[in-house]
Amino acid sequence: MSALEPTTPSVPKRGWLSRPFALTLPALILLAAVIGYPLLTIVLRSLSEPQWGVQNYLWFFGAPVNLTVLQRTFVISAWVTIVCVVCAYPYAYLMTAVGPRARLVLVLCVLIPFWVSGVVRTLSWVILLQDSGVINSLLRAAGFDSIRLIRTQTGVVIGMAQVLLPFMILPLYSVMKGIDLRLMRAAQSLGARPSRAFFTVYLPLSLPGVYAGAIIVFILALGFYITPALLGGPRSTMLSTLVQTQVLSLLQWGRGGAMGVVLLVTTFVLLALAAPVMRSRYREAGRR
């Protein structure tokens, strides 16, 4: 071959041993080791203890208390998600509207809770929500009757929402900071009222952040244990508490595993049902 003859550039091999896949291989092995293997073990134990079969699942669906707790777990998680959306949306919007210094302060306010233990934050809510706590003391000083917040579902929702609020704010802010606020002023210059400009222009563009944050908060809320255990009572028990009782107190690994598998499968089913709606919303936001 002549030195002046052009050479064909080599095409990288594609397949299982291609370089991009090789770079992700360590992460895949780590995920399989710390997530896949324990999950497989739980599934096998739910089917093999005390003997092979589906008796643990029959027990779960045959006990009305288990179905009640499962329903309550999803209801509490849904309320926590709603509270986080309502509280996080104006906060994230404010982060995009203020100057750099004020934005830095707001970001620090979001990040500081990550530096405090979840147990410490939950114990702080125990002090605030108890019958003789700060909140009821302020209500009595203002002339109102005290309300029961500790050992109730309301107290659990408040404590969980405070812990999970940063997971809602950060995805919202990441989407909102890419929205040009001049679009609002352009809509108003064409005759739209500020409220109409917000609901027709800004809100649809921010929905991807709402969906992403809501999914993160909802899934994390389903597995909460410490906060419901400290702030809740018998009427606010979540499925994680029953799993802990079956595994650590009664040593019923099969029943505890069945509870975990049912919760996991139910979550996947709900996400699969919500996925088409989310994809259509994403496409609508992209066209705008």
Q: What is the mean pLDDT of residues 178-184?
A: 81
Residue 1 confidence class, pLDDT cut points 50, 70, 90:
very low
Quick one: pLDDT at residue 203? 85
Of 123-132, 216-225, 259-268, 274-283, which range is least confident?
Answer: 274-283
110 vs 279, higher pLDDT: 110
Of 11-15, 132-136, 237-241, 265-269, which range is least confident?
Answer: 11-15
Tens of pLDDT, residues 222-277? 888 888 888 888 788 888 888 888 888 888 888 888 898 988 888 888 888 877 76
In a domain? residue 107:
yes
In a domain? residue 30:
no
Of 96-110, 137-151, 209-223, which range is least confident?
Answer: 137-151
Query: Which residue segment(s) compose the domain that 151 sits in?
Result: 56-287
The mean predicted confidence, pLDDT, of the chain is 83
128 vs 274, higher pLDDT: 128
C-alpha 214/C-alpha 199 separation (Å) is 19
Domain count, the chain: 1
pTM for this prediction? 0.82
In a domain? residue 27:
no
CB 130, CB 150: distance < 8 Å: yes
Quick one: pLDDT at residue 119? 83
Quick one: pLDDT at residue 78? 93
CA-nearest of 88, 98, 108, 74 to 210 is 88
In a domain? residue 194:
yes
In a domain? residue 100:
yes
In a domain? residue 32:
no
Q: At residue 20, what is the residue type?
A: P
In a domain? residue 181:
yes
Whichever domain contains 128, its CATH number is 1.10.3720.10
pLDDT over 50 at 26, yes or no: yes
Q: Which residue has the tokens 């996400």?
A: 271
C-alpha 242/C-alpha 223 separation (Å) is 11
Task: Classify 199 in phi/psi space as left (phi over 0), alpha (psi -120 to 50) or beta.
Answer: alpha
In a domain? residue 49:
no
Tens of pLDDT, residues 44-75? 988 888 888 888 899 888 889 889 999 999 99
